[in-house]
Structure 1
Amino acid sequence: MSVELGLDTFGDVTKRADGSMKRPDEVLRDVVEQAVVADQAGVDFIGLGEHHRPDFAISAPEIVLAAIAGRTSRIKLGTAVTVLSTDDPVRAFQRFSTLNAVSNGRAEAIVGRGSFTESYPLFGFDMADYDTLFEERLDLFAALVRDPEVTWSGETRSGLTKARVQPPLGPDGMVVWVGVGGSPESVVRVVRQDLQLMLAIIGGDPGRFLPYLDLYQRACTQLERTPRPVGVHSPGFVARTDAEARDLLWPHYQEMFGRIG
């Protein structure tokens, strides 16, 4: 069993040394430079979150990842997460298949519902359709990743009949993860779609997610799926000592955690 280590960022709008706030365009360029350093240091993966609010600069992560692809050679490039509920699965597939091509197969999609809800009113969706939107969009996205020709129908967008969406994925396909924040039904959905499980631990004791790993194994057995690699996202901060890490991170982490639903 191999273990890969990665980093993720929402492109948090941060302060300069003099205390003034950075502009979003500066933050986006910083994210690219951070990814270059991560690639040089041997980090396996970088994931960029999607948000549509002033405190996070990244709203179109695949575009930033494409810029990173041009400056790096080995690091895997992913979203963390793509808010698939308020995206069009066909357009999302096209962005990822394009990114996968220009990065020579390094793209990985992590799709989910997201921790914030600002994309629903922004893109004209109703929170009352929260469950149906994600269920249908994940179903279509998974079909597009699996098959070069797709016929699909649903309630939340127009159907497809023998559609061949361009550009197609290469012969090695593309890894797709589903970010799961604590719903047993979501774990079973991942297995049913034959995708990879990413446990999205926002805070608290990681040990409380162990039952979801047990559920994943049981669901694979019951649905006759081969278990796939499982990923875990958890907040972290690196410093010289544990005490220093806590002292430096806690005020900022506490403030941000209070904004996450």
Structure 2
Amino acid sequence: MELGIGMFGDLAFDQKTGKYQDAGTKIREILQQVKLMDEVGIDVFAMGEHHRADYAVSSPEMVLAAAASITKNIKLASGVTVLSSSEPVKVYEDFATLDLISDGRAELFVGRGSFIESFPLYGYSLNDYEQLFDEKLDLLLKINSEENVSWKGKLRAPMDNQTVYPRAKNNGKLPIWRAVGGTPQSVLSAAKLGMPLVVAIIGGMPIQFKNLIQFYKQEYLAAGFPESEMQIAIHSHTLVSEDQKVIEGYFQNYKDQKDRIGATRGWSPYTKMQYEGGRAKDGALFIGNVSEVADKIAYMKEIFGITRFVGHMDVGAPENEVMMKSIELFGEKVAPLVR
């Protein structure tokens, strides 16, 4: 099983000044952190895409390209590319270029995203939310698998025997994962296309997703794809520390981020009881000491049969020192225990 770390580039908010942390400082910290991930043997780094004041990264491929120049082994993925509001030709070009820079380490996680800011920003209508994703995924997969592309859809101009350059290292093919939040229709689509699956489990109890993942396995095999090539990942909020004060103090970071987003979505204020419930064995938060986090990841392998776990590690913008220690422990202590 591969072990990875994901980030969104959360920016710390200063209550006194009413301003967010400088985005440039945050991006440089992220690069320092990815370099450490590579050094301690983390398998995958996934960088998210957002178009908001509270996140530093709107262009994951740019950050990943910078990371490629200072790492040697770690796979570099988007987590996720909001494909509905992206141009598939440009997405392939950017990640094929990243693949060549990194000598074959680029991956794509594609999804609809949990925020909608990119749609009006790039001139797309939310009325086309579902159709945009389906069409663009169809085109991206075609570009990824064929040298000369002829394609026709309803929301984008057709392609007629055109080739997209440069081509990725592995005969032009990039690993493209389907990232989902738990919608059965999305899971079914991924299975029928034979795509690797990433499930975001960031609340409630992971066991509640067992039927969904079993559904994916069933439909993947029914579509004729070999079990040996099936790949399933989960993506969950994670922080590792052997200092109980750090774990207790992280509640405030986590609460602030939850409440900031929740204020726009009608959520109730986040509570300490929810935090501790999430940290319990059956909860969805992988926040705790080395043995606690390792045990929960092993439990995910047991109940789901996952081939990859991605710990989302910068929720609420922990300080760089806390992040660096968490990454170090994840690579040097948690990973060997899980393996």
TM-score by length of 1: 0.93
1:192 Cα shift?
2.1
Corresponding position of 2:84? 85
Aligned ranges 1:191-210 → 2 under 5 Å: 191-210=191-210
Which of the numbers 11, 15, 19 marks the counterpart of 2:9? 11
Matched residues in 2 for 1:43 and 1:254: separation? 27
* Counterparts in 2 of 1:203 and 1:115: CA distance versus 1, 3 Å: same
Matched, 1:44 2:43: yes
Corresponding position of 2:104? 105
Corresponding position of 1:159? 158
Matched residues in 2 for 1:69 and 1:58: separation? 16
Corresponding position of 1:231? 233
Kindly provide the amino acid, as one letter, of the partner of residue 82 in structure 1.
Answer: T
Corresponding position of 1:66? 65
% identical aligned pairs: 35
Conservation of the 8 A alpha-carbon contact between 1:237 and 1:245 = no
RMSD of aligned alpha carbons: 1.9
Matched residues in 1 for 2:32 and 2:129: separation? 36
1:237 Cα shift?
1.1
Conservation of the 8 A alpha-carbon contact between 1:49 and 1:81 = yes
Matched residues in 1 for 2:249 and 2:257: separation? 14
Conservation of the 8 A alpha-carbon contact between 2:104 and 2:168 = no
Matched residues in 2 for 1:171 and 1:10: separation? 28
1:202 Cα shift?
2.6
Matched residues in 2 for 1:28 and 1:171: separation? 29
Secondary structure at 1:198 match in 2: strand
* Counterparts in 2 of 1:244 and 1:214: CA distance versus 1, 3 Å: farther
| Runs of 5+ consecutive residues of structure 2 not aligned to the other structure | 266-339
Kindly provide the amino acid, as one letter, of the partner of residue 250 in structure 1.
Answer: F
Corresponding position of 1:256? 257
Matched residues in 2 for 1:97 and 1:120: separation? 24
Secondary structure at 1:235 match in 2: strand
Conservation of the 8 A alpha-carbon contact between 1:85 and 1:137 = yes
1:214 Cα shift?
0.8
Corresponding position of 2:119? 120
User: Which moved further from structure 2: 153-162 or 68-77?
Assistant: 153-162
Matched residues in 2 for 1:212 and 1:24: separation? 37
1:252 Cα shift?
1.8
Structure having the larger proportion of residues in helix: 2
Conservation of the 8 A alpha-carbon contact between 2:191 and 2:217 = no
Conservation of the 8 A alpha-carbon contact between 1:84 and 1:134 = yes
Conservation of the 8 A alpha-carbon contact between 2:20 and 2:54 = no
1:246 Cα shift?
4.3
* Counterparts in 2 of 1:21 and 1:55: CA distance versus 1, 3 Å: closer
Matched residues in 2 for 1:257 and 1:196: separation? 29
1:170 Cα shift?
2.0
Corresponding position of 1:34? 33
Which of the two has higher C-alpha Rg? 2
Kindly provide the amino acid, as one letter, of the partner of residue 46 in structure 1.
Answer: F
| Runs of 5+ consecutive residues of structure 1 not aligned to the other structure | none
User: Which moved further from structure 2: 168-177 or 206-215?
Assistant: 168-177
Matched residues in 2 for 1:21 and 1:186: separation? 34
Conservation of the 8 A alpha-carbon contact between 2:49 and 2:57 = yes
Q: Which has the higher contact order (CA 8 A, sep 6+)?
A: 2
1:255 Cα shift?
2.6
Conservation of the 8 A alpha-carbon contact between 2:89 and 2:140 = yes
Matched residues in 1 for 2:254 and 2:96: separation? 34
Corresponding position of 2:316? none
Q: Name the count of aligned residue pairs.
A: 257
User: Which moved further from structure 2: 217-226 or 177-186?
Assistant: 217-226
